[in-house]
């Protein structure tokens, strides 16, 4: 193990972010030089806090099955090359998860039962960032080709993971993406201040050098139909995500100035990357209201701050969860607690137990929201009498999540069955009801975390490889029915 007394003698530390007054003036990552570099001075001692427990529940908290105690020990010993090997053994893209994953592994950490958990996510990102800086991350092309072809539709984390695994297994893989560049929501949904796009670009470059082909700007289901895809390839992987957005059909919804987060964020990302966007949705000098209290809402918050919003309010219909782990969500489950992202440190107000009754307008444009306090009674939200109030807003952003994959076009053309939640149904090998068509990520699971998407991509790749080759040596970390640790 690492330091035998580290979890007792060494307090938990995390990297310091750049000062708020500095970072809100640019779009760079909030950590100086990136989180990995910011962590290096303290990371060996932090890795030494891992107690190498007899049953590492962090493995259960992480759907990828990351070998956390192993690379903690290696980082403590400063064996960075071996730590990188152990990290890549289970995770294709640790620089993505190290920045974006909410770290369910840490809430399952045994040290966290009665002390502060090990900074697992910080160790992970320090290993991979140092490896990129030292040029230790190299292409791993296959030794031979199988002659089999695979189309992966969607270049988010699930699609990228499946494509990389299948390419390395020797199959000829083409990834189709409807946007002009690969990466899916990693590129245009995640703001630069959370993850700079160099992280995506160099993984795409690595994959291209391994042999994966990327075909961007292709709307599969329109310019290339599902039938043509099946005729052209031996297998197809649907990694199209869950992109049907939740809406809020209350009076005044037709007013202008009300937008989905995924209309607002991609435009802001493009501009931050130096592209020109016509008729950009801007928060500048506006009272902004964000409906939805999750990570996407926080991304809208940080973006609005950098665009110079006059005021920002983030609404959540659920009550404030509090800072302590609820008794109904004991260790090692992932608890619903009050969390503060980098964007929440910068500005804005969060309001809980609140619901929108109506959008008010002036000259056809939204001018305010009529809100009412709510409380949970017998599992249903009920309005608190006399709690109505109006809140000014010239820009409203919906960050309420997604309900499933788009059905029109590709899904309908392929004729795959859907489950009761509207996701693409799949068997234990991740194959849909149509022979040779597989599904990975949010399209089959429903809206979930990046770490689950990568795990699904790796698992689906094993199913595809077995389908094409008769057997497989590729790892399959989770079955399709697996769910996060719950009570």
Q: What is the pLDDT of residues 101-117, one digit of tens each?
A: 999 999 999 999 999 99
Sign of the torsion formed by the C-alpha atoms of 410, 413, 416 and 420: positive
> What average pLDDT does the segment 382-395 reach?
96
258-289: pLDDT as tens digits: 999 999 999 999 999 999 999 999 999 999 99
Residue with tokens 């800086």: 133
| Radius of gyration, CA atoms only, the chain | 23
pLDDT tens digits, residue range 20-43?
999 999 999 999 988 888 888 899
Name the 3-class secondary structure at 369: strand
Alpha carbon distance, N-terminus to C-terminus of the chain: 30
pLDDT band at 2 (very low <50, low <70, confident <90, very high): low
pLDDT at residue 485 tops 80: no
Q: Under a CB-based contact definition with an 8 Å cutoff, are residues 1 and 47 in contact?
A: no
| DSSP symbol at 311 | E
Kindly state the average pLDDT of the residues 305-316.
98
Question: If you average pLDDT over residues 288-293, what whole number do you get?
Answer: 96
What does DSSP assign to residue 224?
B
User: Residue 417 pLDDT more than 70?
Assistant: yes
d(CA 235, CA 378): 48
**Residue located via tokens 């991350």:** 137
Q: Which two tokens stand for residue 172?
A: 């000829």
- The pTM of the full predicted model, rounded to 2 decimals, is 0.96
* CB-count exposure of residue 213 (10 Å: 0-12, 13-18, 19+): middle
From the CB of residue 386, how many other CB atoms can be counted at a distance below 10 Å? 7
DSSP E strands in 141-223: the ranges are 149-153, 172-177, 213-216
Tell me how crowded residue 8 is: count the other CB atoms within 10 A of its CB: 12
Rounded to whole angstroms, the Cα distance separating 99 from 132 reads 15
Per-residue pLDDT, 38: 87
Angle, in degrees to the nearest 10, between helices 157-168 and 450-469: 30
Q: Which residue has the higher pLDDT, 484 or 283?
A: 283
Q: Rounded mean pLDDT of 337-352?
A: 96
Q: Residue 34: its pLDDT value, please?
A: 87
Burial of 259 (0-12, 13-18, 19+ CB in 10 A): middle
Whether pLDDT at 486 is above 70: no
E-assigned strand segments in 353-434: 354-362, 365-377, 380-383, 389-392, 395-398, 402-404
Please tell me the predicted confidence (pLDDT) of residue 4.
Answer: 84
Element (H, E) at 119: none
DSSP symbol at 111: G
Nearest-angstrom CA–CA distance, 97 and 426: 25
Residue 127 has pLDDT above 60, yes or no: yes
Q: CB atoms < 10 A from the CB of 166, how many?
A: 29
Q: What does the alpha-carbon distance between residue 420 and residue 430 come to, in Å, rounded to a whole number?
A: 17
Average pLDDT over the chain, rounded to whole?
95
Distance CA 232, CA 62 (A): 36
Cα angle 206-211-214, degrees, rounded to a multiple of 5: 80
Question: CA separation (Å) from 187 to 109, 173, 191, 216?
Answer: 31, 21, 8, 13
Q: What percent of the chain has pLDDT over 70?
A: 99
The whole-angstrom separation of Cα 479 and Cα 258 is 39
Give residue 5's pLDDT band: very low, low, confident or very high (50, 70, 90). confident
Largest CA distance in the chain: 71
Rounded Cα gap, residues 220 and 159, in angstroms: 14
- 339 has a pLDDT exceeding 60: yes
Supply the pLDDT for residue 279.
95
> In degrees rounded to 5, what are phi and psi of residue 458?
-65, -40
Q: Is pLDDT at 487 greater than 60 in this prediction?
A: no
Instruction: For strands 287-291 and 311-316, give the pairing.
Output: parallel
Closest CA to 430 of 485, 469, 482: 482
Mean pLDDT of 361-384: 95
pLDDT digits (tens, 9 = 90+) for 46-103: 999 999 888 999 998 999 999 999 999 999 999 999 999 999 999 999 999 999 999 9
pLDDT of residue 291: 98
Helix (H, G, I), strand (E, B) or coil at 205: helix
Over residues 170-222, the pLDDT tens digits come to 999 999 999 999 999 999 999 999 999 999 999 999 999 999 999 999 999 99
Residues 73/110, Cβ–Cβ less than 8 Å: no
> What is the pLDDT averaged over residues 409-438?
97
Note the pLDDT of residue 223: 86
- Strand order in 149-153's β-sheet? 213-216, 172-177, 149-153, 235-238, 437-439
């Amino acid at each position: 193990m690492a330091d035998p007394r580290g979890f007792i003698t060494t307090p938990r530390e995390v990297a310091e972010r750049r000062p708020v007054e500095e970072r809100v003036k640019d779009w760079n990552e909030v950590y100086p030089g990136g989180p990995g570099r910011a962590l290096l001075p303290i990371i060996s001692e932090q890795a030494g806090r891992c107690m190498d427990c007899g049953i590492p529940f962090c493995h259960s908290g992480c759907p990828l099955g990351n070998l956390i105690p192993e690379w903690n020990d290696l980082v403590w010993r400063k064996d960075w090359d071996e730590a990188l090997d152990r990290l890549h053994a289970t995770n294709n893209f640790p620089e993505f998860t190290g920045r974006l994953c909410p770290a369910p592994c840490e809430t399952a950490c045994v040290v966290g039962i009665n002390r502060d958990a090990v900074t697992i996510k910080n160790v992970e990102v320090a290993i991979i960032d140092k490896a990129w800086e030292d040029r230790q991350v190299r292409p791993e092309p296959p030794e031979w080709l199988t002659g089999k072809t695979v189309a992966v539709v969607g270049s988010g984390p699930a699609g990228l993971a499946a494509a990389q695994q299948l390419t390395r297994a020797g199959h000829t893989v083409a990834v189709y993406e409807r946007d002009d560049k690969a990466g899916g929501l990693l590129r245009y949904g995640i703001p630069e201040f959370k993850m700079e796009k160099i992280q995506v670009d160099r993984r795409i470059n690595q994959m291209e050098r391994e042999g994966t082909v990327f075909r961007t700007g292709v709307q599969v289901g329109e310019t290339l139909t599902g039938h043509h895809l099946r005729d052209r390839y031996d297998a197809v992987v649907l990694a199209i995500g869950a992109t049907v957005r939740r809406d809020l059909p209350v009076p005044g919804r037709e007013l202008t100035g009300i937008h989905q987060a995924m209309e607002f964020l991609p435009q802001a990302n493009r501009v931050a990357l130096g592209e020109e966007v016509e008729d950009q949705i801007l928060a500048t000098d506006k009272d902004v209201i964000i409906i939805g209290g999750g990570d996407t809402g926080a991304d809208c918050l940080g973006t609005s701050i950098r665009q110079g919003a006059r005021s920002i309010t983030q609404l959540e219909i659920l009550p404030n969860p509090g800072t302590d782990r609820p008794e109904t969500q004991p260790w090692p489950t992932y608890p619903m607690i009050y969390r503060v992202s980098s964007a929440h440190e910068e500005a804005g107000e969060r309001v809980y137990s609140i619901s929108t009754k109506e959008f008010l307008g002036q000259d056809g444009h939204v001018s305010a929201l009529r809100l009412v306090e709510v409380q949970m009674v017998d599992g249903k939200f009920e309005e608190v009498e006399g709690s109505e109030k109006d809140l000014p807003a010239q820009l409203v952003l919906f960050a309420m999540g997604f309900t499933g994959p788009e059905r029109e076009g590709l899904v309908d053309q392929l004729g795959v069955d859907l489950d009761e939640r509207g996701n693409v149904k799949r068997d234990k090998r991740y194959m849909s009801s149509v022979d040779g068509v597989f599904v990975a990520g949010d399209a089959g699971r429903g809206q979930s975390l990046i770490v689950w998407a990568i795990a699904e991509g790796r698992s689906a790749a094993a199913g595809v490889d077995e389908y094409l080759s008769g057997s497989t040596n590729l790892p399959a970390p989770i079955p399709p029915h697996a769910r996060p640790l719950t009570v």
